[in-house]
Amino acid sequence: MPQPAPTRALALVAAWLAVAGQLVMLYAPALPVAAGFAFPLSDKLAHCLSFALAAGLWAALSRRKALVAGLFAAHAVASELIQLALPGRSADPWDVAADLAGIGIGLWLAGLAGRLGGGPGPRLAKRGGAPSGSGPATTIEPFAARLGARNRQSRQEAPP
């Protein structure tokens, strides 16, 4: 079943905030790292996590996972090319690799959450539609209706 309106609105806000944070991380002038925070490959971890969060949230909100993956992959490559022109920034192909890994992780987690939580996913027939096949119900009403119908059917089939 589709997410309730307040839940979807919060998810959209979180998705836009994730993209905004990602844009700041990728395009802001290089900031000094807090003492003790930096460790080997910490920038790759930051790239991976930022793309996993943003792509995962958008994938969870969308039925078009391939489009989400493609847009974020294009942004991963474009961001490194843009950083070549920014003062104090440099491009690194390993950043693109970390970004792509993050996209994969985010989409995997979004798919996993959709299957476990019964949230929006490929089973939705159309936007706002009900699940088209098997899948956990997200409210008690559809479950209760199915259970009541099943009980009535079993009583009718029982021999006298």
| CA 103/CA 18 separation, integer angstroms | 13
Query: What rounded mean pLDDT belongs to the chain?
Result: 78
Give the highest mean pLDDT range of 1-5, 33-37, 43-47, 144-148.
43-47
pTM: 0.66
CB-based burial of residue 24 (10 Å sphere; 0-12 exposed, 13-18 middle, 19+ buried)? exposed
Residue 119 has pLDDT above 90, yes or no: no
Write out pLDDT tens, residues 61-81.
Answer: 998 999 999 999 999 999 999
| Percent of the chain with pLDDT strictly greater than 90 | 41
Going by pLDDT thresholds of 50, 70 and 90, the confidence category of residue 117 is confident
What confidence score (pLDDT) does residue 132 get? 46
Residue 153 has pLDDT above 50, yes or no: yes
**Residue found by looking up tokens 């836009």 in the block:** 16
15 neighbors 110 (Cβ within 8 angstroms): no
For the cut 80, the answer to whether the pLDDT of residue 159 exceeds it is no
**For the chain, domain boundaries:** 5-157
Strands (DSSP E) contained in the chain are: none
pLDDT higher than 80, residue 118: no
Each residue of 41-80: b (16+ CB within 10 Å) or e?
A: eebbebbbbbbbbbbbbbbbbeeebeebbeebbebbeebb
